[in-house]
């Protein structure tokens, strides 16, 4: 039987299992390396009818938080989440708070939720901040609801769209957008060779033509209501800025890797500043995952509906350990 530092394979496996539940990774009889847990929270697009119903029916705390949310929002979002239609759930004013609620209540329902670092994709950053204790559940939900309504108004003010670009380096996409004489920018750096661009309808069309000519494997127009994370969200940013400035933020229990710069933050004022800038700045998800890995993340957990972020993390680092 193979031995590991004088320990047979059976004992080594038992030690590994014990170490896992103690929050560390056991490599051999002499070296113990502590596990760093990274929790990640999804954004808009991960929703599905029925999401969160198990949390409502299976937990007194979950039911209480959902009912609190119904009261805060002024409508029964639980009816739309649990028994609604795909169309009703796609409304921005519903989608964003619904995903936020599912993610945060899921985090609160975990007995062993003790993150070493957290991050959220776009909307998911609000979920990450609440889960890490940087703001209260009530304040987080109110901000998410205000964000959704402000974004919806900005979308209605000027028709705009987004498109996914597959198969090109970041620099090629950025250069093509810069060459277009319309509003169009790189908005989501999701994983290597997969970006989302955002801007005016004409700007996105022209950029897609250039990127197809440059060798993109695919350019896919997204079924979204507007140009999120672009300069066209400036009216929403201005509207949300006052609400964020008036909200109490605390130091989180762990570093929060924020979308605007992909760096870890713990200072409440810096977190506020970055959260305000987020609406018109790109989501640097590729860089967030790379920085988490560089800072020692050994285990990723996605909290929220769907498995989108699991796929993106794996595309950044194929050997990553990730679960939901």
DSSP-based three-state secondary structure for 103: helix
Query: How far from 291 is each of 6, 43, 279, 316, CA to CA, in Å?
Result: 36, 20, 22, 11
Q: Catalytic residue at 299? A: no
Q: List the catalytic residue out of 102, 229, 230, 265.
A: 229
From the list 146, 140, 148, 142, the residue with the least C-alpha distance to 250 is 140
- For residue 1, pLDDT over 50 is answered with no
pLDDT at position 277:
97
- CA-based nearest residue to 259, from 238, 228, 232, 234: 228
How sure is the predictor about 12, in pLDDT bands with cuts at 50, 70 and 90?
Answer: low
Query: Does pLDDT of 21 surpass 60?
Result: no
- Residue 129 in contact with residue 135, Cβ under 8 Å? yes
Task: Indicate whether 17 pLDDT > 60.
Answer: no
The full set of domains in the chain, from first to last, is: 3-34 (no CATH), 37-156+230-323 (3.40.366.10), 160-221 (3.30.70.250)
Q: What are phi and psi of 80, to 5 degrees?
A: -75, -35
pLDDT (average), residues 204-229: 94
- The predicted model gives 298-321 an average pLDDT of 95
Hey, which residues does 300 pair with through a beta bridge? Answer: 38, 322
Q: Where is average pLDDT lowest: 88-97, 124-133, 183-192, 304-313?
A: 88-97
Number of Cβ within a 10 Å radius of residue 116: 20
Give me the pLDDT at residue 224, please. Answer: 83
Q: What is the pLDDT of residues 60-112, one digit of tens each?
A: 999 999 999 999 999 999 999 999 999 899 888 899 999 999 999 999 999 88
Residues 20-31: what's their mean pLDDT?
A: 53
Which residues fall within 8 angstroms of residue 223, CB to CB, at 6 or more apart? none
Q: Which of the following is catalytic: 103, 122, 145, 160?
A: 122
Q: Find the DSSP H helices in 132-200.
A: 137-157, 170-179
Cβ atoms of residues 102 and 124 within 8 Å: no
pLDDT surpasses 60 at 24: no
Confidence at residue 26, expressed as pLDDT on a 0 to 100 scale: 46
pLDDT tens digit sequence for 250-291: 999 999 999 999 999 999 999 999 999 999 999 999 999 999
126: pLDDT strictly greater than 80? yes
pLDDT range class, residue 2, cuts 50, 70, 90: very low
**pLDDT higher than threshold 80 for residue 246:** yes
Average pLDDT value over all residues in the chain: 91
Q: Is residue 9 predicted with pLDDT exceeding 90?
A: no
Give the pLDDT confidence score for residue 90 in this predicted structure.
85
Q: What is the β-pairing status of strands 264-265 and 32-34?
A: unpaired
CB 2 within 8 A of CB 9: yes
pLDDT of residue 4: 41
Give the whole-angstrom CA distance, residue 176 versus residue 126.
31
Mean pLDDT of 191-211: 97
Q: Are 141 and 62 in contact (CB under 8 A)?
A: no
Tokens linked to 290: 């790379």
| Residue 16 to residue 27: CA distance in whole angstroms | 7
Of the chain, the percentage scoring pLDDT greater than 90 comes to: 81
Q: Which of 28-42, 154-168, 254-268 is predicted least confidently?
A: 28-42
- Would you state the pLDDT for residue 11? 61
Tell which residue, 304, 295, 296, 247, has the closest CA to residue 271. 247
Distance of CA 242 to the CA centre of its chain: 23
> Phi/psi at 186 (nearest 5 deg)?
-70, 125
**pLDDT tens digits for 164-188?**
999 999 999 999 999 999 999 999 9
Using 50, 70 and 90 to split pLDDT, how confident is the model at 324? confident
Is residue 265 part of the annotated active site? The answer reads: no
Q: Note whether 230 and 182 are within 8 A (CB).
A: no
**CA dihedral in degrees (237, 242, 247, 253; nearest 10)?**
30
CA atoms of 153 and 90, how far apart (whole Å): 16
- Tell me if residue 6 falls in helix, strand or coil: coil
Q: Which helix (H) or strand (E) holds 176?
A: helix 170-179
Identify the burial level of 2 via C-beta atoms within 10 angstroms of its C-beta, where 0-12 means exposed, 13-18 middle and 19 or more buried: exposed
Distance of alpha carbon 124 from the chain centroid:
4
- Asked if 284 and 189 count as a contact pair (C-beta separation under 8 A), the reply is yes
pLDDT greater than 80 at residue 297: yes
């Amino acid at each position: 039987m193979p031995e590991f530092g004088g320990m047979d394979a059976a004992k080594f496996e038992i030690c590994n299992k014990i170490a896992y539940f103690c929050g560390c990774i056991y490599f051999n009889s002499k070296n113990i390396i502590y596990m760093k847990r990274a929790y990640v929270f999804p954004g808009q697009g991960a929703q599905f009818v029925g999401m969160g119903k198990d949390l409502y029916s299976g937990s007194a705390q979950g039911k209480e938080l959902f009912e609190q949310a119904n009261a805060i929002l002024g409508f029964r979002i639980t009816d739309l989440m649990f028994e609604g239609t795909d169309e009703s759930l796609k409304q921005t004013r519903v989608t964003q708070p619904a995903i936020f609620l599912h993610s945060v209540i899921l985090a609160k329902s975990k007995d062993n939720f003790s993150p070493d670092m957290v991050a959220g994709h776009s909307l998911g950053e609000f979920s990450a901040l609440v889960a890490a204790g940087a703001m209260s559940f009530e304040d987080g939900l109110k901000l998410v609801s205000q964000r959704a309504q402000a974004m919806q108004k900005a979308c209605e003010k000027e028709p705009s769209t987004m498109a996914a670009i597959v198969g090109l380096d970041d620099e090629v996409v950025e250069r093509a957008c810069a060459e277009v004489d319309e509003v169009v920018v790189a908005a989501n750096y999701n994983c290597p060779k997969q970006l989302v661009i955002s801007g005016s309808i004409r700007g996105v069309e022209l950029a897609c033509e250039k990127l197809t000519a440059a060798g993109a494997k695919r350019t896919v127009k997204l079924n979204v209501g507007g140009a999120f994370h672009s300069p066209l969200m400036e009216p929403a940013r201005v509207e949300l800025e006052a609400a964020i400035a008036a909200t109490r933020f605390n130091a989180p229990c762990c570093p929060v890797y924020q979308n605007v710069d992909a760096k870890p933050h713990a200072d409440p004022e810096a977190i506020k500043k970055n959260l305000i800038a987020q609406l018109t700045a790109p989501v640097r998800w590729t860089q967030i995952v790379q920085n988490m890995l560089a800072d020692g993340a050994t285990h990723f957990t996605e909290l929220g509906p769907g498995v989108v972020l699991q796929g993106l993390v794996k595309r950044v680092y194929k050997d990553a350990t990730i679960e939901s």
